[in-house]
Copies of this chain bind each other. A is one copy, B any other.
Amino acid sequence: MLYFEDYAVGQRAAFGSYHVTREEIIEFASKYDPQPFHLSDEGAAGTHFGKLSASGWHTGAMCMAMLVENMNNVKHASLGSPGLDELLWKKPVHAGDTLRVETEIVEKRRSKSRPELGLTKNRIQVFNQNDELVMQSINVGLVLVREPNAPIED
C-alpha cells in the first residue's frame, strides 16, 4: 500500500490509451455541452475548432478514466481530490484521436491541522497521438500518512 511518504516531488508516470470516437463526442456533448462545435463538423467550421471537437469536460472525463485505470494497478491510501489548481484546454480533441497521460508530482506537504493527512499536487498532461499537449491540470490529492505521529518537517 502506497502512503504519503512513498510519493516524492519529481516522480513521473506515463500511461493510458483512449481512442476518441465521433459517436462518443456527440453523445457526451448532446447531454452536457451542446454547443455547435461539439455536435457536428458543420457547427465547428469557421470556429477555431475547425471540425467536430470534444467538450473540454469530456476530455477531462476521458483523462479521469485513464487515471482511475492506472490507480487500480497500485494499492494506495488516497482519499480523493478536493479540486484542481488549474485546468487548461490547449488544443482541440477530434474524432479519431488517441489520448495518453503523463503525470509528475510537483508539490507535497503534510496537513498541519490533520497530521494524518498529506496533500500532493500532480501536474497531469494529456497528449494526442501526435504528441501535442491537449489538456493540462494541476490536481490536488489527499493521501493518508503512514506514520501520523512523525514530526511535520516543513
A interface, CB within 8 angstroms of B = 28, 31-35, 37, 47-48, 55-58, 60-62, 64-65, 68, 79-90
Contacts and interface: CB of A to CB of B under 8 A. Distances in A.
Contact of A35 (B33, B48, B68, B88): B68
Count of this chain's copies in the oligomeric assembly = 2
Chain A interface main SS type: mixed
B88 A86 contact: no
Given A86-B83, A86-B85, A64 B68 contact: no
Contacts of A84: 84, 86-87
25 contacts: A28-B61, A31-B61, A32-B62, A34-B65, A34-B68, A47-B79, A47-B80, A48-B80, A55-B64, A56-B81, A56-B83, A57-B57, A58-B61, A60-B60, A61-B61, A82-B88, A82-B89, A83-B86, A83-B87, A83-B88, A83-B89, A84-B84, A85-B86, A86-B86, A87-B87
Contact of A32 (B61, B82, B86, B89): B61
Nearest to A87: B84
A57 to B, nearest CB: 5
